[in-house]
């Protein structure tokens, strides 16, 4: 059954124009496979001929079987003054051997005259020739009408003439593009409405997020009758990015009741979003709607109390519906309910009336007053809860440490020594590093690695320092938040002290204790 809205993903083409995004051909194939499994309808792989990576992608893609998606190659209308069959652009896009060819062309007279330096009629000829030629070669041709909205506002008659040229030449869909991202939803609705009236071919919408309206404008296009929406995963793209498909897809499905990707894919949305960030080597945007880590995080005590009773009361949708999860943040605003829910999330069975609950709550408050913060340091909180409940001994103790820094030939070098005690045994190690924390981390893990092999897999992946305001007469405090990873999961720990090294050591020790607590393996002999 044909869906009501078709999803055209351009993460690999328009999305890769974003700052800091650089996909290899192998990256592109992995993302395309993921998108295909998810059930998007079209995957635009790149612009064949623009670089060797894109051609390599198309060569590989042509050999694979795609379950849901059809692969599209992007190019532009033939160049001015060159017959279409002699234009190298056409040779390249045909060599890509994709079922879909997407061709971008000019709508806006300003661009035709000033940028292309072409006659208005010549541009119409370029559009028509290109589409006809590719269609004759067996391609399904989509026509991306660049600057469609700005062009229409400037000269409606000419804009319409360009779209009609595309329709007449046999385009299978005409996609109106808000290339500069400056339109309001009402502009989009009105102009898509006009296109629907004047054309019989299906209409698509392609928007950018320059005004923070990428998604809103895309949906305005759909409401006005467009049946294809173009965008990127996580909203990647030039400047502020493209229309974000990780918002568009659940909005179409849950809020507008329109079919797009298979319903069974929706719970995999968060995973898709994280996967693409990982391949792009970008940190996941925690505040991203629907799929961000904080999308269903609750902080205020009263909120949390209500969530505990009726989740629906403070959430617009169930987090699991998009593969996300509810999180309870512990902060100085928090009451006992936060601690209880946090404990349950961490796998501890804690009762509201239990004396331990009261003592954990007051301990958290006391530490927060000292400058600790547990929102991003769930592992430190888990240890705190665990130590209170289990009265357990620490698996190791740091008996002594020393950090030194020296300058040498214009470079600085740090050295740290650490002495740890595990049961009756001790280990004493020294390590060098680019900085004091790096050296300390190295020495600590070397020492503990002898007793607990699992520690060798742990890596420090992020390190943040915040100077907390000193109250008059006292020294300012330093809060250190570190993120560690074992390659499979990440956890955060916190340390606070007047001394940055001491604060760092606390956070490092917590991080390792947490690993030892969560994986019972790796015990010392």
* Interacting residues with Zn ion (CB under 5 A): 14
Cβ nearer to Zn ion, comparing 231 with 433 = 231
Q: Minimum CB separation from Zn ion for residue 225, in Å? A: 21
Cβ nearer to Zn ion, comparing 248 with 328 = 248
End-to-end C-alpha distance for the chain, whole angstroms: 62
Structure token digits, residue 53: 């990576």
Structure token digits, residue 295: 């999308």
**Backbone φ, ψ for residue 481 (5° rounding):** -115, 125
Q: Minimum CB separation from Zn ion for residue 242, in Å? A: 6
DSSP per-residue string spanning 71-93: EEEEEEPPPTTS-GGG-HHHHHH
Q: Minimum CB separation from Zn ion for residue 304, in Å? A: 41
Q: Minimum CB separation from Zn ion for residue 218, in Å? A: 12
Cβ nearer to Zn ion, comparing 14 with 36 = 14
Q: Minimum CB separation from Zn ion for residue 206, in Å? A: 6
Q: Minimum CB separation from Zn ion for residue 56, in Å? A: 23
Of 240, 250, 256, 259, the closest CA to residue 178 belongs to: 240
Q: Minimum CB separation from Zn ion for residue 13, in Å? A: 9
Cβ nearer to Zn ion, comparing 111 with 479 = 111
Nearest residue (beta carbon) to Zn ion:
14
DSSP per-residue string spanning 126-178: HHHHHHHHHHHTT-EEEEEEETHHHHHHH-HHHHHHHHHHHHHHT-SEEEEEE
Q: Minimum CB separation from Zn ion for residue 1, in Å? A: 29
Cβ nearer to Zn ion, comparing 16 with 478 = 16
Cβ nearer to Zn ion, comparing 47 with 514 = 47
Alpha-carbon gap, residue 331 to 303, rounded angstroms: 13
Cβ nearer to Zn ion, comparing 14 with 373 = 14
Cβ count within 10 A of residue 384 = 20
Alpha-carbon gap, residue 187 to 477, rounded angstroms: 52
Cβ nearer to Zn ion, comparing 237 with 495 = 237
In a 13 Å sphere around the CA of 241, the CA atoms on its Cβ side amount to: 17
Of 206, 200, 192, the closest CA to residue 171 belongs to: 200
Strand duo 397-408 + 70-76: pairing: unpaired
């Amino acid at each position: 059954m044909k869906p009501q809205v078709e999803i055209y993903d351009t993460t690999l083409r328009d999305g890769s124009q974003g700052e800091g995004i650089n996909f290899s051909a192998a990256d592109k194939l992995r993302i395309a496979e993921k998108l295909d499994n998810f059930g998007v309808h079209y995957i635009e792989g790149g612009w064949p001929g623009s670089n060797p990576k894109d051609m390599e992608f198309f060569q590989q893609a042509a050999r694979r079987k795609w379950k849901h998606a059809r692969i599209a190659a992007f190019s532009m209308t033939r160049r001015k003054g060159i017959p279409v069959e002699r234009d190298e652009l056409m040779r390249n896009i045909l060599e890509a051997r994709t079922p879909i060819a997407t061709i971008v062309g000019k709508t806006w007279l300003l661009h035709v005259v000033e940028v292309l330096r072409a006659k208005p009629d010549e541009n119409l000829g370029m559009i028509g020739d290109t589409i006809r030629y590719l269609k004759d070669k067996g391609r399904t041709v989509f026509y991306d009408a660049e600057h469609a909205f700005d062009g229409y506002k400037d000269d409606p008659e000419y804009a319409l003439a360009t779209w009609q040229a595309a329709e007449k030449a046999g385009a299978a869909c005409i996609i109106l593009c808000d290339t500069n991202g400056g339109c309001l939803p009402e502009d989009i609705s009105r102009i898509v409405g006009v296109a629907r009236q004047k054309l019989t071919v299906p209409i698509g919408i392609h928007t950018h997020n320059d005004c923070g309206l990428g998604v809103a404008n895309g949906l305005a296009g759909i409401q006005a009758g467009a049946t294809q929406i173009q965008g990127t995963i996580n909203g990647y793209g030039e400047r502020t990015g493209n229309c974000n498909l990780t918002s568009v897809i659940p909005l179409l499905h849950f809020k507008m009741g329109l079919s797009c990707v298979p319903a069974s894919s929706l719970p995999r949305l968060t995973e898709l979003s994280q996967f693409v960030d990982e391949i792009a080597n970008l940190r996941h945007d925690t505040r991203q709607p629907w799929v961000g880590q904080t999308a269903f995080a609750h902080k205020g005590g009263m909120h949390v109390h209500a969530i505990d009773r009726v989740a629906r009361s403070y959430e617009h949708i169930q987090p699991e519906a998009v593969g996300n999860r509810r999180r309870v943040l512990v902060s100085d605003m928090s009451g006992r309910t936060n601690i209880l829910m946090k404990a349950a999330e961490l796998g501890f069975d804690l009762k509201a009336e239990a004396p331990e609950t009261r003592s954990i709550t007051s301990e958290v408050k006391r530490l927060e007053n000292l400058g600790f913060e547990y929102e991003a340091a769930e592992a430190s909180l888990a240890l705190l809860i665990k130590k209170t409940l289990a009265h357990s001994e620490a698996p190791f103790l740091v008996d002594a440490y020393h950090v030194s820094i020296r300058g040498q030939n214009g470079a600085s070098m740090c050295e740290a020594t650490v002495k740890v005690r595990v049961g009756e045994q001790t280990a004493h190690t020294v390590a060098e590093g680019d900085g004091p924390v790096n050296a300390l981390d190295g020495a600590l893990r070397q020492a503990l690695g002898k007793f607990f092999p699992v520690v060798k897999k742990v890596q420090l992946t992020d390190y943040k320092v915040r100077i907390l305001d000193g109250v008059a007469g006292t020294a300012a405090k330093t809060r250190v938040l570190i993120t560690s990873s074992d390659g499979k999961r990440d956890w955060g720990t916190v340390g606070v002290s007047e001394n940055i090294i001491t604060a760092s050591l606390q956070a490092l020790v917590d991080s390792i204790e947490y690993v030892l607590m969560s994986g019972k393996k790796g015990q010392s002999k």
